[in-house]
A and B are shown apart, each in its own frame.
Chain A
Amino acid sequence: NAGVTQTPKFQVLKTGQSMTLQCAQDMNHNSMYWYRQDPGMGLRLIYYSASEGTTDKGEVPNGYNVSRLNKREFSLRLESAAPSQTSVYFCASSASGTSYFYYEQYFGPGTRLTVT
């Protein structure tokens, strides 16, 4: 099992350009997440998808859109990149549902994005 995979690993964009970050998991997990990690800010949730067909905003959704393409794939789109979106982006997945017990999240290797 590959676990959680992300593409691309690195990307440089100019301000105003758009791009889509791809994420896929092969663990048959219901829930998927997108985070960004900035120095001194820790991991912050951008969007998540509790199950196929649903998406919800996290802490910092502005400037992003997401698509839960199917159970395996969850993409993050930057429509008009800004320098403030320079960050490391991590995708994660978990076997979450609606029950109230422990939900361990597993992370992909990340995408390092620079917006100039």
Chain B
Amino acid sequence: RKEVEQDPGPFNVPEGATVAFNCTYSNSASQSFFWYRQDCRKEPKLLMSVYSSGNEDGRFTAQLNRASQYISLLIRDSKLSDSATYLCAVNIDNAGNMLTFGGGTRLMVKP
């Protein structure tokens, strides 16, 4: 089993739709969780950190489920500009220095 797994997609959704991605992780001791956005041929850019209580930033909501060992990203009112690959990242060492990235979920928002 991979340490961090994501459904590669693609998720094809119409503009205005709500879409959710999950990311499962295998290390129950992990403490740091992140969502990154990566556009084609660009670097990953931090979208949001995922806190234990969940957090929201505009149309984006991130949640952590420790019991089932997954994090989720919900995007409401999808825009064409949301089309990208979304990577989750989880720390794998106690110092938090090393992150393991999932393979990414590709989202395509259609007009």
A interface list, Cβ under 8 A from B: 31, 40-43, 45, 48, 50, 58, 90, 94, 96-110
Contact = CB atoms under 8 A, between A and B. Distances in A.
Nearest to A103: B96
Nearest to B31: A100
B96 A101 contact: yes
Contact of B44 (A31, A40, A43): A43
Interface string B86-111: 01010100111111111110000000
B82 to A, nearest CB: 19
Given A105-B89, A107-B44, A42 B98 contact: no
Contact of B97 (A43, A103, A106): A103
22 contacts: A42-B87, A42-B101, A42-B103, A45-B99, A45-B100, A90-B44, A94-B97, A97-B95, A99-B96, A100-B31, A100-B94, A101-B31, A101-B32, A102-B31, A102-B32, A102-B49, A103-B32, A103-B97, A105-B34, A105-B99, A107-B43, A110-B43
Contacts of A31: 97
B96 A96 contact: yes
Interface residues of B, number: 24
* Residue of B43, B94, B95 contacting most chain A CB atoms (<10 Å): B43
Interface of B: 31-32, 34, 42-46, 49, 51, 87, 89, 91, 94-104
A50 B97 contact: yes
Contacts, number: 62
Contacts of B97: 31, 48, 50, 94, 96, 103
A77 B23 CA distance: 33
Main DSSP-derived SS at the A contact region: loop
A41 B102 CA distance: 9
